[in-house]
Amino acid sequence: MITKSMTTLLALAASAGVALAKDVKIGFVTTLTTPAGVIGKDMQDAVNLAVEHIGGKMGDLDVKILFEDDGFKPETGKQVTDKLVKQDDVDFVTGYIWSHVLLASRKSVIDAGKFLISSNAGPSPIAGKLCHENFFSTSWQNDQTPMAMGEVLNQQGVKSIYVMAPNYAAGKNMVAGVERTFKGDIKGKDFTKWGKDAQLDFSAELAKAKASGAEGIFVFYPGKAGGAFIKQYQQAGLQSVMPLYSVFTVDSISLPKFQAASMEGVLGSRMTQFWAPDLDTPQNKKFVSAFKAKYGKYPSFYAAQSYDTIFLIKSAVEAVNGDLSDMDGMRAAMKSANFPSVRGKFTYGNNHMPIQNFYLREVVKDGDGNWTTKIVSTVYENHQDSYAGECPLK
Amino acid sequence: MDLTLVVIQCLNGMQLGILLFLLASGLTLTFGIMDFVNLAHGSLYMVGAFLCATLTFWTGSFIWGVLLALPLTALAGIAVEFIVVRHLYSRDHLDHVLATFGLILCIDTMTHLIWGAEGIAVPLPAFLNGQVELFAGIIFPSFRLLIIGAGLIVAGGLYYLVNHTRLGMLIRAGASNRTMVSALGVDIQTLFTLVFALGAVLAGLAGMLIAPITEASIGMGNEIIITAFVVIIVGGIGSMKGAFIAAMLIGLIDTLGRSYIDDLFKLAMSTEAAETAAPAVSAMLIYILMAVVLTFRPQGLFPPKVR
């Protein structure tokens, strides 16, 4: 009898210990294996830098980050998400590079009553019908960046384009985005196989693009497919006849590799984005210079969004003085977007997607001869995604 | 339909076919002659690509990179045979699959440790980075043409090796009846090591040739090895001729499928449905071919004689 009550007491003490634990647990789901793991690494670096910059504290609470690998697969992403919310009982689940992984994992987090913050993926359903009060984004809705590119094409008087993208949720969104704003003619369209065994040889598609006679080519190929595409685009001699307009294809992860392989053709190529390493905000200057000092390379936009994620969570935790049970308080704090963002001040729409600027960027050499991107002009000011209207939230 | 485009797409299909042949020939040698299922064949393809990438940067020339990487890949193949594969010949296929699957994970992780996760883009010399006009209006990337040329030379060399040399005779005899070959006093162990190294070199060469088009990256072999298995099943396991013809067939079907199936579908359904269905169906085409071949000719199109 005595032993039994002792055990109960001990168990009580143990559970009380957990409840009193002074830390914020953040689950970060990204891709750490497969060649796309290099993106996950960049995000991980940025998160670690952010935690360092806030001294490992949010208010009085210690910050604990649990990184998980989705293996570039929706089913694995969902499994690790389940583990984070059920076994580790984290307070926030963030990360998510891929739209299909985010869509597969969304329900686990929402049903568990936790906050879900996307540090990259922005598939249309989550901005529209599937929007939720506990979901936030520090990136963009997939369609927005290509919509800005469509505007750029109009401004430059491009009459016709050929379109190529991978065959998955984000690929469809990107194409829908450019089609929504581009006023010219779309001469042809190819969706290619995506995932762990993605198609990387685009010989057939490039031959079709060339034969189509379009004035330009629009592509969305994140990760290593982007490098493969650009090389083959040059080898096929399309550079001179069909200028490249891309989104999320040329970034700080691929540029050093292009530079090492002397792929000069990529210099001067243009893309749209909500952010650039040279964006002139105090938080961005601090982030970019610290990232370069610590890791010896430019941060990618994936890194920038991940860095913002930590500061967004910090603003929420501090607004409720560390009372992590106050979901309403934290939600209201995040909704106000009252944190120093690398992109400068922005606001959240009713669907908790950022309403922000989009810029045209160009690949240039920096002062040290390294290849990077710089802002050419602002395409959209305070742009809201097109799905916000479908979201029932106010 | 544009005739120029059709010709270019056929060349693209041939180029893919050649790469598949380089991989499948090694696979069909090890599977057909040694009766050994080597899932890790794709890892040798990756190792070849990484070695070539490193040596290209080291020597400053892609050509030297390839020439130096070839013997190194052979050594890697011999090492793999010596350390792992040799102990598995007497086991059954399931053990082969398990062990070589483990080998894939080991080699992938080792590559990750040595070269990092990001992969390497391999630069080409200027004369290979452009295009050539074959005849009126047919402009083709010169490097892809080089792949076709190199592949055809290798195929010719293999044909000579297998059909007109003593080693080839032993290989053919081994494919027909292994026990009899060793009963006749041939050192089957050395023959196996040689065959395995030859397979490794062929796979490595394929990896070196694809690296400047895509890049050297971890897991690149695991993506293509499935297709190489389809090739040897369609061609007939153990048959070099079968591997060549099936590789060409599959290269062409895959490329032409990707090129024309959406136009074909648009005749029968809405544009949007066609755009969604086409990539899925064109990715399936080669498996449909395999299913058809397995139904009507389970031994493959060109099975080796006397099996």
**In this complex, which of B131, B213, B259 lies closest to A237 when CB atoms are compared?**
B131
Are the Cβ atoms of A35 and B8 closer than 8 angstroms?
A: no
- By the 10 Å C-beta count (0-12 exposed, 13-18 middle, 19+ buried), B103 is classed as buried
- Look at residues B266, B270, B268, B265 and name the one whose alpha carbon lies nearest to residue B282: B265
Mean pLDDT within B226-240: 91
Please state, in angstroms and rounded to a whole number, the distance separating the CA atoms of residues A225 and A166.
9
What residues in chain A have their Cβ under 8 A from chain B's Cβ atoms? 33-35, 37-38, 41, 167, 189-193, 196-198, 200-201, 203-205, 207-208, 211, 224, 227-228, 231-232, 234-237, 253, 257-258, 260-263
Minimum Cα–Cα distance from A169: chain B residue: B276
**A112 and A193, same domain (yes or no):** no
Residues A195 and A132 placed together within one structural domain of the fold: no
Q: Is A129 a member of any domain?
A: yes
**Which residues does residue A61 pair with via DSSP β-bridges, in sequence order?**
A58
Which of A211, A227, A253 lies closest to B215 in CB terms?
Answer: A227
Q: Which of B10, B213, B222 to mutate to test the interface with A (most CBs of A within 10 A)?
A: B213
Chain B residues with beta carbon closer than 8 angstroms to that of A212: none
Neighbouring residues of B155: CB distance < 8 A, sequence distance ≥ 6:
B18, B21, B25, B244
Let me know how long chain B is: 307
Residues B160-206 pLDDT 10s: 998 899 988 888 887 777 788 888 888 888 888 999 999 999 999 99
Q: Which residues of B touch A34 (CB under 8 A)?
A: 218-219
Q: Could you tell me if residue A368 is inside a domain? A: no
Q: Does A231 sit within 8 Å of B130, measured CB to CB?
A: no
User: Quick check: A207 and B259 CB within 8 A?
Assistant: yes
- Those residues with Cβ within 8 angstroms of residue B104's Cβ, 6 or more apart along the chain or in another chain: B39, B40, B42, B43, B221, B222
Which H or E element spans position B141?
strand B139-141
Query: Which residue from B minimizes the CA distance to A258?
Result: B121
Beta bridge partners of A372: A364
Rounded to 10°, the helix A203-212/B3-34 angle is: 180
Q: Is residue A361 part of a domain?
A: no
CB–CB of B141 and A41 under 8 A? no
Residue A376: both structure tokens together:
């050419």
Burial class (CB in 10 A: 0-12, 13-18, 19+), B157: exposed
Q: Which of A220, A247, A273 corresponds to the end of one domain? A: A273
Q: Has the ipTM of the complex gone over 0.90?
A: no
Q: A25 has which bridge partners?
A: A64
Instruction: Tell me which of B7, B115, B214 to substitute to probe the interface with A (most A C-beta atoms closer than 10 Å).
Output: B214
- Residue B135 tokens read as 């005849």
Whether A381 maps to a domain, the answer reads: no
Q: What is the pLDDT at residue B50?
A: 97
d(C-alpha B305, C-alpha B307), whole Å: 6
| Helix A301-319 and helix A37-53, axial crossing angle in degrees, nearest 10 | 40
Q: What is the pLDDT of residue A7?
A: 52
Q: The tokens 């139904």 sit on which residue? A: B295
- Structure token pair of residue B32: 């057909």
Task: Tell me how long chain A is.
Answer: 394
- The Cα–Cα gap between B168 and B199 comes to 14
Residue in B with minimal Cα distance to A31: B117
| Residue A35 and residue A72 share a domain | yes
Domain match, A130 and A160 both:
no
pLDDT for the residue A175: 95
- pLDDT per residue, tens digit, chain A (394 aa), is 455 555 554 454 444 444 445 799 999 999 998 878 889 999 999 999 999 999 999 999 999 999 999 999 999 999 999 999 999 999 999 999 999 999 999 999 999 999 999 999 999 999 999 999 999 999 999 999 999 999 999 999 999 999 999 998 899 999 999 999 999 999 999 999 887 778 889 999 999 999 999 999 999 998 888 888 998 998 888 888 899 999 999 988 889 988 988 888 888 888 999 999 999 999 999 999 999 999 999 999 999 999 999 999 999 999 999 999 999 999 999 999 999 999 999 999 999 999 999 999 999 999 899 999 999 999 999 999 999 999 999 8
Which residue, of A253, A273, A293, is where some domain finishes?
A: A273
The domain segmentation of chain B, as residue ranges, is 3-296
Q: How many domains does chain A have?
A: 2
Selection from A178, A35, A165, A149 nearest residue A99 by Cα? A165
What pLDDT is stored for residue B268 in this prediction? 86
Query: What's the N-to-C CA distance of chain A in angstroms?
Result: 56
Cα B73 from Cα B49, distance rounded (Å): 9
CB within 8 Å: B121 and A227: yes
Size of interface A-B (CB pairs under 8 A): 119
Please indicate, yes or no, whether residues A182 and A234 belong to a single structural domain of this protein: yes
Is B123's CB within 8 Å of A263's CB? yes
Together in a domain, A12 and A113: yes
- Rounded Cα distance between B109 and B103, Å, is 10
**Statement: residue B239 has pLDDT above 90:** no
> Distance between CA atoms of B234 and B171, rounded to whole angstroms?
21
Residue B39 banded pLDDT, cuts 50, 70, 90: very high
Residues of A in contact with B116 (CB under 8 A): 38
The domain of A154 spans 144-273
A294 belongs to a structural domain: yes
Residue of chain B whose Cα is closest to the Cα of A166? B279
Strand partners, B139: B133
CATH of the domain at A46: 3.40.50.2300
Task: Name the residue of chain B whose CA is nearest to A239's CA.
Answer: B130
- A231 vs B12: CB contact, 8 Å cut-off? no
A316 and A249 together in one domain: no
Question: Distance (Å) from the C-alpha of residue B50 to the closest C-alpha of chain A?
Answer: 13
Q: What is the pLDDT of residue B116?
A: 84
The residue of chain B nearest to residue A255, with distances taken between CA atoms, is B121
CA distance B193 to chain A (A): 31
CA distances from B260 to A281, B17, B38 (A): 49, 18, 34
pLDDT given at position A264 = 83
Express as a percent the part of chain B with pLDDT over 70: 99
SS3 assignment, position B271: helix
Examine the domain organization and report whether A108 and A12 are in the same domain: yes
Pair (A251, A334) in one structural domain: no
B261 to chain A, closest Cα gap in Å: 11
Strands, DSSP E only, in A239-334?
Answer: 244-246, 270-273
Q: What is the mean pLDDT of residues B1-8?
A: 84
Question: Which among B12, B139, B222 has the least Cβ separation from residue A203?
Answer: B12
Q: Which CATH architecture has domain B3-296?
A: Orthogonal Bundle (1.10)
Q: What average pLDDT does chain B have?
A: 90
Beta strand extents in chain A (DSSP E only): 23-30, 57-58, 61-69, 92-95, 115-118, 135-137, 160-166, 185-192, 216-219, 244-246, 270-273, 347-348, 354-365, 371-383
> What is the predicted pLDDT for the residue at A169?
86
Note the pLDDT of residue A21: 53
pLDDT band with cut points at 50, 70 and 90 for residue B151: very high
Residue A393 lies in a domain: no
Q: pTM to 2 decimals?
A: 0.85
One domain for residues A160 and A269: yes
CB B118 to CB A253 under 8 A?
A: yes
pLDDT band at B1 (very low <50, low <70, confident <90, very high): low
CA A3 distance to own-chain centroid? 53
Query: Are residues A84 and A45 both part of a single domain?
Result: yes
